[in-house]
Structure 1
Amino acid sequence: MTGLDKQVATAAEAVADIPDGATLAVGGFGLCGNPMALITALLEQGTSELSVVSNNCGVDDWGLGLLLGAKRIRKMTSSYVGENKEFERQFLSGELEVELTPQGTLAEKLRAGGSGIAAFFTRTGVGTQIAEGGLPMRYDGAGGVAHASPPKEVRTFDGPDGPAEYVLEEAISCDFALVHALRGDRHGNLVFNRSARNFSPQAAMAGRVCIAQVEELVEPGELEPDQIHLPGVFVHRVVEVGTDIEKRIERRTVTEAPSSAGASGTTGQEG
């Protein structure tokens, strides 16, 4: 990897310098856009005591659930954690610290971190434990709360609907970011697929070192500028994983088509 060429040969090489105790921003939405090659490489190299920021923590056998199941994660900052039974077990037993954050707030905290914005005020969470504190972050294993969220600053501003209270949210920046993209070039410019775009650009921005796995790696100049979702200035390493990688659907719903017997359709996330 020299100059503007950010390509690395393997996922293992890409994550080799992520140490124990690192903070990670990880892209993906549900099970779409999960950087599985990078997560698996991190699992295989044995990195532990990770503090991870991601919309969710995968499921028991996929996504960040692999690292969680191996007890490599000490803290999760997430919006949605309802699909992972091991997550629930570790949280309630006091093994895992969890910081629950409203989904839009989490996205903005990551974007702010990557934009050099230290904090921002939002109405989301005003009047709840998000602002007032007391939200369980770690249990003691016996049904009690060992550590609760602290109260946050609340101020009144003259907003679009008149004076209203806003809660101060601090930005998030991490040591590393791991993301999956549909296409990328060797300069690090990335294109995400559909709902995989929900959190991946923001997570990438928040990492001091951003590592991207891409299904298709192209030469600089092959991507139309208007199609690029994340410019290469935010990306430091790119590894190609190919288009035949496994992709999973978090929940599959099958229904019979009303006009033809036996016909069916599925719904799910794509990424």
Structure 2
Amino acid sequence: MRKITTAEALAAQIQDGATIAISGNGGGMVEADHILAAIEARFLQTGHPRDLTLIHSLGIGDRDCKGTNRFAHAEMLKRIIAGHFTWSPKMQALVKNNTIEAYCFPGGVIQALLREIGAGRPGLFTHVGLGSFVDPRNGGGKSNECTTDELVELIEIDGETKLRYRPFKVDYAILRGTYADPRGNVSLEEEAIDMDSYSMALAAHNSGGKVFVQVRDVLEAGAIEPRRVKLPGILVDGIVEHREQPQTYLGGYDLTISGQHRRLSSNDAIELVSHPVRRLIARRAARELVAGASTNFGFGIPGGIPGVALREGVPYQSLWLSVEQGVHNGMMLDDAFFG
């Protein structure tokens, strides 16, 4: 089976009413926007595909036209299940105006649920979300009035209350890598992060769906060493080569972002928070850091704490660092390139 094709050919395969999972992170990281743009163009020209359900774990887009903004059209989208909608004001408007159904779940929950779907298990059972807005007693993650289906339920296991996030079928996974070979094997070696790419591919494949991957280059057969393969070709149905694919919205590829090169100066790796109020909050939070502590940074104001800590002599480099995308240690980026 020939797997190398075009974005337009893949877009033509998307059926009305399909559930689509897309990879990506703020700043354009592992975002298959060339394929997403083709899907949007087809809808604007033909009115199809329509009534889609969109799944993504972290924010994707540029607050303008890319990423999830490609799907932010009435009639194109029926439902969204996401970690947040920060990078798509158009999507926020659709949710606010009750134009589409919307669920907001923790990003890690969505990623873990996709892995459970890929394994064929009956959903995700976890304590994460108990007592929060995703607890069915507090709304079940529903983000507006037109959203009524219950996707989360309370259960009891060994005398303890847990949440069960119900599984769903994934018809298409749209992902991005760096290199592919003609058999569909994909590596992500020069991308900023792997994210939930494998879990999404597995969820779609084992749902009977299809996996489409955008890459920068297609290499000859055997050129990708087996240990570098992140998405095995047996899971992949279509490959789109996009030579102009950028690593992030900054354009080009920076091998320090992919971790293949180190910056000589850590001061160059982190930009200081520009907004004075955010900087003040970050400075106060940085004072709470103690040497040797394991510290996880989430998106938003927390992303600015490392830069402040580094410049003010707080023991930043003695900490064990991680970010919500799952990467440990390294130098933090903030704002649109958080992680």
TM score, norm. by length of structure 1: 0.80
Q: 2:180–2:187: 8 Å Cα contact kept in structure 1?
A: yes
2:124 corresponding residue in structure 1: 120
2:240 corresponding residue in structure 1: 239
Give the superposition deviation at 1:196. 3.8
Give the superposition deviation at 1:205. 2.0
Q: 1:183–1:217: 8 Å Cα contact kept in structure 2?
A: yes
The alignment status of 1:228 with 2:232, answered yes or no, reads no
Inter-partner Cα distance in structure 2 for 1:254 and 1:202: 32
Give the superposition deviation at 1:149. 5.6
Inter-partner Cα distance in structure 2 for 1:29 and 1:240: 20
Amino acid of the structure 1 residue aligned with 2:34: A
2:90 corresponding residue in structure 1: 86
The alignment status of 1:61 with 2:65, answered yes or no, reads yes
Q: 1:112–1:172: 8 Å Cα contact kept in structure 2?
A: no
Unpaired runs of at least 5, structure 1:
140-144, 158-162, 259-265
Query: Identity rate of aligned residues, in percent?
Result: 21
From the two aligned structures, give the one with the greater helix fraction: 2
SS of residue in 2 equivalent to 1:197: coil
1:50 corresponding residue in structure 2: 52
Give the superposition deviation at 1:245. 4.3
1:147 corresponding residue in structure 2: 147
Inter-partner Cα distance in structure 2 for 1:69 and 1:203: 24
The alignment status of 1:205 with 2:206, answered yes or no, reads no
SS of residue in 2 equivalent to 1:48: coil
Inter-partner Cα distance in structure 1 for 2:167 and 2:79: 17
Q: 1:7-46 maps to which residues of 2 (within 5 A)?
A: 7-8=4-5, 10-30=6-26, 31-46=28-43
Give the superposition deviation at 1:166. 2.1
Inter-partner Cα distance in structure 1 for 2:164 and 2:99: 29
1:95 corresponding residue in structure 2: 99
Inter-partner Cα distance in structure 1 for 2:214 and 2:338: 16
Q: 1:194–1:270: 8 Å Cα contact kept in structure 2?
A: no
The alignment status of 1:73 with 2:77, answered yes or no, reads yes
Inter-partner Cα distance in structure 1 for 2:122 and 2:160: 22
Inter-partner Cα distance in structure 2 for 1:66 and 1:18: 14
Return the structure number with greater relative CO, CA threshold 8 A, min gap 6. 1
Inter-partner Cα distance in structure 2 for 1:57 and 1:74: 18
2:218 corresponding residue in structure 1: 217
- Bigger drift between 103-112 and 240-249 goes to 240-249
Inter-partner Cα distance in structure 1 for 2:143 and 2:134: 15
Inter-partner Cα distance in structure 2 for 1:70 and 1:149: 20
Evaluate the alpha carbon distance shift between residue 71 and residue 35 of structure 1 in structure 2; reply closer, same or farther with a 3 A threshold. farther
Q: How many residues align?
A: 249
Inter-partner Cα distance in structure 1 for 2:4 and 2:196: 23
SS of residue in 1 equivalent to 2:147: strand
TM score, norm. by length of structure 2: 0.65
Give the superposition deviation at 1:172. 3.6
1:261 corresponding residue in structure 2: none
Inter-partner Cα distance in structure 2 for 1:12 and 1:69: 19
Q: 2:184–2:237: 8 Å Cα contact kept in structure 1?
A: yes
Evaluate the alpha carbon distance shift between residue 99 and residue 231 of structure 1 in structure 2; reply closer, same or farther with a 3 A threshold. same
Amino acid of the structure 1 residue aligned with 2:7: A
Q: CA RMSD in A?
A: 2.9
Evaluate the alpha carbon distance shift between residue 220 and residue 245 of structure 1 in structure 2; reply closer, same or farther with a 3 A threshold. same
- Bigger drift between 234-243 and 146-155 goes to 146-155
Q: 2:173–2:210: 8 Å Cα contact kept in structure 1?
A: yes
Q: 1:185–1:217: 8 Å Cα contact kept in structure 2?
A: yes
From the two aligned structures, give the one with the greater strand fraction: 1
SS of residue in 2 equivalent to 1:147: coil
Inter-partner Cα distance in structure 2 for 1:127 and 1:138: 16
Deviation digits for residues 75-102 of structure 1 (CA, Å, limit 9, x no counterpart): 1110121232222221111112111111
Deviation digits for residues 49-87 of structure 1 (CA, Å, limit 9, x no counterpart): 211111235233211212215752221110121232222
Amino acid of the structure 1 residue aligned with 2:38: A
Amino acid of the structure 1 residue aligned with 2:230: H
